[in-house]
Amino acid sequence: MHIAIVGNIGAGKTTLANKLAHHFNWEVFLEDVDHNPYLKDFYDDMPRWAFHLQVYFLNSRFRQTQHIKRIQTANKGVIQDRTIYEDAHIFATNLHQSGLMAERDYDNYRNLFDSMISMVDPPDLLLYLRADLPKLIQQIERRNRDYENNIKIEYLKHLNEHYEQWIGSYKDGKLLIIDVNNLDYVNNPEDLGVIIDRINSTLFGLF
Ligand SMILES: Nc1ncnc2c1ncn2[C@@H]1O[C@H](COP(=O)(O)OP(=O)(O)O)[C@@H](O)[C@H]1O
Ligand SMILES: Nc1ncnc2c1ncn2[C@H]1C[C@H](O)[C@@H](COP(=O)(O)O)O1
């Protein structure tokens, strides 16, 4: 069983991934953020580092998908924090459409993505955390990573628009949309229970 949690920056993916992994006793796969050699530079100068960062994330996410595939064959459950689909369909597309990634770099990147994606299995469940801008901003501030302090509201808004578009056309498997605007699964176990019930119902037909 493979559940992938998707959503904008600060939506609460990592927090929920850890809680679900604990609940189901499954393995959790997080993003490569702390050791990412481009992320800080990218936020300082997006046009300069966009291509480098996308190639880095693409490779790291592809390796992760291959690792997950091996775990799946061993019949173990997996919770994944963010997917390779979001790199291409959300972040790279947004950078290109915003004029922050040159045409030839984007074409080059998409060719690479297209070659890789045929080797990627979609998750059994895609869990989209939908959050409005005030919630995202509040949670990014709460997390307080210094390189994210200057993220523009416009950037988050465009990412949210791409998420809605992509989720609206997602047909690769089961999809569960959770509106997290009024959920506090950090401090309120009942809110976590609501999400777990909805996962069980979508995946196993329970409840
Ligand atoms: N539903 C929630 N209610 C309250 N706080 C939350 C919720 N989801 C996340 N947080 C807090 O918001 C911050 C960002 O969450 P995080 O899981 O790192 O988001 P993401 O992985 O999507 O970027 C963390 O400090 C986390 O504790
Ligand atoms: N593909 C990506 N392009 C640009 N930035 C990305 C990409 N994937 C992740 N990020 C950034 C966004 C955040 O600053 C960090 C971690 O993501 P988060 O949603 O907070 O888990 O990496």
What CATH code is carried by the domain that includes residue 165?
Answer: 3.40.50.300
For residue 25, tell me if it sits in a domain: no
Q: Is 173 annotated to bind ligand?
A: no
For residue 96, tell me if it sits in a domain: yes
pLDDT > 70: what percent of the chain?
A: 99
Can you tell me the distance from the alpha carbon of 172 to that of 178, in angstroms, rounded to the nearest whole number?
Answer: 18
Can you tell me the distance from the alpha carbon of 140 to that of 160, in angstroms, rounded to the nearest whole number?
Answer: 15
2-6 and 125-130 as β-strands: parallel, antiparallel, unpaired? parallel
Ligand nearest to the Cα of 10, by number: 1
pLDDT higher than 80, residue 202: yes
Backbone angles phi, psi at 77, to 5 degrees: -85, 150
Q: Is 7 annotated to bind ligand?
A: yes
Q: Which amino acid is at 132?
A: D
For residue 185, tell me if it sits in a domain: yes
For residue 73, tell me if it sits in a domain: yes
How long a stretch of residues is the chain?
Answer: 207
pLDDT at residue 74 in the model: 77
- Measured in Å, residue 186 CA sits from the centre of ligand 1 at 8
For residue 60, tell me if it sits in a domain: yes
Atom 6 of ligand 2: nearest residue by CA position: 91
Q: Is 153 annotated to bind ligand?
A: no
For residue 7, tell me if it sits in a domain: yes
Query: Residue 195: enclosing H or E segment and its boundaries?
Result: helix 189-204
Ligand 2 pocket, mutate which of 40, 91, 137 (most atoms under 8 A from CB): 91
Ligand nearest to the Cα of 184, by number: 1
Total of domains in the chain: 1
- Measured in Å, residue 139 CA sits from the centre of ligand 1 at 6
Look up the domain containing 135 and give its range: 2-14+31-204
ipTM value, please give it: 0.94
Predicted model pTM: 0.96
User: Tens digits of per-residue pLDDT, 53-106?
Assistant: 999 999 999 999 999 999 888 778 999 999 999 999 999 999 999 999 999 999
For residue 23, tell me if it sits in a domain: no
pLDDT at residue 161 in the model: 98
Average pLDDT over residues 157-162: 98
Average predicted confidence (pLDDT) for the chain = 96
Catalytically active residues are 81
pLDDT higher than 70, residue 150: yes
Average pLDDT over residues 133-151: 95
pLDDT at residue 75 in the model: 79
For residue 88, tell me if it sits in a domain: yes
- Measured in Å, residue 110 CA sits from the centre of ligand 1 at 30
